[in-house]
């Protein structure tokens, strides 16, 4: 019999090793690798992530933390691989699980370590016999774990009534290149690799490329039988680091990647009716220690950026409303922008780069219509926050952006009175729609 000890906390690895050595035991430390020596008396698993592997190799499993008044440790990992368990009297942390273990005879509670050791020897002897009690326990342990599966699905059923209405179902795929794709279930699944290419491809009906928002995006036909278009954005780095890593980011789990986080935030905001683009799909392509990412969104037609709207050749000036009633038309634009930002803040969404290039203003509408729809775009590295301090910071960032455009001579149609209109509309909405 060769005991295997797995300390619960990594900070205890060294202390346990020193204690075993003080007992003059020949210890094999798993962290050092190599083959276990024939004369080893104990194996110390002083490495993380190996517990289930050792459970699979074990014949008898004793769950610690239960012979001292700490409430016991989780026995489910052992049961999952068909290991019946020996445990002590202190199991308050997992009271219901241990009660079920005793009821179904999946293990044995031992009042002392001496009793536990004697039980372990008995089980070792029993394990050599055909159709033994040991083997029956092992089979029941696996059956018990099967009955415990599906907790995530059952939890989701309980949460569904509380989720935002209109949040569409989504699907995840791994495409032929090994990249992970997320997409709305109602959209085209498993998009071919050339959809995500950073260069134009024949047959995609690419209508134009634009630099609105951060980075370059491509606009292409989405459904062949309709006039709908999609925007494909390939994530690029900025600043000096872009010279070294351009479109590559240090590896992290797919759900934590830039594209997946933006895609999920857009889905949530769309379900709340916020003025943002509809996300269609996202892609995460890992390669060694880096990954590349892409996002596909529905194109918002008949719009221009706020920076374009206040430029000398503003497309708004060509519309009927701005020719007929320019003062009222401009007032409506700034009020709509103030309300759009306020709606975002009421949902506790922090936009990390709110500027004149990340706000879209409707250009085409009915001749008699004064009001304009406004959309906010580019939610890369944005997030929901619990505090309120970011709201004033967002507004100041937008103001600095407008003043910069004006100072550079790119926004001659902007003046400071417009900011007063924007903030008045923002504050009015914030009062009636508190976060």
- pLDDT exceeds 70 at position 89: yes
Q: Please, what is the average pLDDT of the chain?
A: 84
- pLDDT 10s digits, 382-434: 999 999 999 999 999 999 999 999 999 999 999 999 999 999 999 999 999 88
Contact 377, 361 (CB under 8 A): no
Would you kindly state where each structural domain of the chain is located, as residue ranges?
4-152, 165-298, 303-432
351 pLDDT band (50/70/90 cuts)?
very high
- pLDDT 10s digits, 116-161: 999 999 988 888 776 678 788 888 888 888 777 667 767 766 776 6
Average pLDDT over residues 289-316: 92
φ and ψ at 245, to 5 degrees? -125, 5
> Cα–Cα distance between 379 and 349 in angstroms, integer?
10
Pairing of strands 27-29, 42-44: parallel
| CATH fourth-level superfamily of 4-152 | Glycogen Phosphorylase B; (3.40.50.2000)
Residue 247 has what DSSP assignment? T
Give CA angle at 78 (76, 81), nearest 5°. 105
**Residue 174: which residues within 8 A CB-CB, separation 6 or more?**
180, 181
Contact 62, 86 (CB under 8 A): yes
Contact 97, 116 (CB under 8 A): no
Does the model's pTM come out above 0.85?
A: no
Tokens representing 359?
């706000």
C-alpha 67: how far from chain center: 39
Equal fold, 4-152 vs 303-432: no
- pLDDT exceeds 50 at position 203: no
Give CA angle at 237 (236, 240), nearest 5°. 145
Contact 137, 73 (CB under 8 A): no
Domain 303-432 has CATH 1.10.510.10: yes
Count other Cβ atoms within 10 Å, centred on residue 21: 12
Q: Which of 281-285, 308-312, 348-352, 358-362 has the lowest mean pLDDT?
A: 281-285
Spot the catalytic one: 353, 378, 380, 387: 353
Residue 352 has what DSSP assignment? T
227 is catalytic: no
**Residue 101: which residues within 8 A CB-CB, separation 6 or more?**
75, 79, 85, 87, 107, 144
- pLDDT exceeds 90 at position 287: no
Share of the chain above pLDDT 90, in %: 44
The pLDDT, as a whole number, for residue 247 is 87
Give CA angle at 167 (428, 299), nearest 5°. 75
Average pLDDT over residues 201-210: 41
The pLDDT, as a whole number, for residue 275 is 96
Give CA angle at 212 (352, 354), nearest 5°. 20
Average pLDDT over residues 328-350: 95
């Amino acid at each position: 019999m060769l005991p295997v000890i797995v300390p619960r906390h990594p900070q205890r690895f060294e202390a346990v090793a020193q204690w075993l050595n003080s007992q003059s035991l020949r210890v094999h430390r798993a962290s050092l690798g190599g083959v276990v020596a024939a004369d080893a008396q104990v194996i110390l698993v002083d490495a993380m992530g190996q517990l289930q592997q050792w459970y699979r190799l074990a014949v008898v499993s004793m769950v610690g933390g239960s012979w001292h008044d700490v409430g016991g440790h989780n026995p489910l990992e052992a049961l999952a691989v068909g290991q019946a368990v020996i445990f002590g009297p202190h199991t308050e942390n997992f009271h219901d699980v241990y009660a079920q273990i005793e009821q179904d005879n999946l293990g044995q509670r031992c009042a002392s370590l001496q009793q536990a050791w004697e039980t372990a020897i008995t089980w070792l002897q029993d394990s050599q016999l055909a159709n033994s009690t040991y083997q029956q326990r092992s089979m029941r342990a696996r059956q018990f774990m099967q009955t415990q599966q599906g907790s995530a699905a059952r939890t989701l059923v309980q949460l569904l009534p509380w989720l935002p209405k209109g949040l569409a179902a989504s699907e995840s795929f791994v495409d032929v290149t090994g990249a992970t794709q997320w997409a709305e279930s109602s959209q085209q699944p498993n998009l071919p690799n050339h959809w995500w290419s950073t260069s134009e491809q024949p047959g995609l009906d690419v209508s134009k490329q634009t630099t609105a928002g951060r980075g370059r995006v491509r606009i292409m036909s989405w459904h062949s039988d309709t006039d709908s278009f999609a925007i494909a954005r390939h994530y690029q780095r900025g600043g000096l680091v872009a010279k070294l890593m351009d479109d590559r980011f240090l590896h992290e789990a797919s759900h934590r990647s830039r594209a997946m986080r933006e895609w999920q935030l857009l889905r949530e905001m769309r379900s709340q009716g916020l003025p943002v683009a509809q996300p269609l799909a996202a892609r995460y392509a890992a390669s060694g220690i880096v990954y590349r990412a892409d996002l596909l969104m529905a194109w918002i037609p008949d719009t221009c950026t706020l920076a374009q709207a206040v430029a000398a050749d503003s497309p708004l000036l060509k519309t009927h409303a701005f020719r007929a009633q320019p003062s009222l038309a401009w007032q409506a634009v700034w009020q709509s922008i103030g309300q759009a930002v306020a709606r975002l803040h009421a949902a506790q969404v922090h936009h990390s780069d709110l500027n004149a290039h990340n706000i879209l203003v409707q250009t085409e509408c009915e001749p008699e219509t004064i009001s304009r729809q406004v959309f906010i775009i580019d939610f890369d590295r944005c997030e929901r926050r619990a505090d309120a301090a970011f709201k004033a910071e967002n507004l100041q960032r937008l103001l600095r952006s407008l003043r910069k455009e004006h100072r550079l001579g790119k926004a001659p149609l902007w003046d400071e009175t417009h900011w007063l209109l924007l903030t008045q509309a923002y504050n009015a909405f914030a009062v009636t729609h508190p976060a």
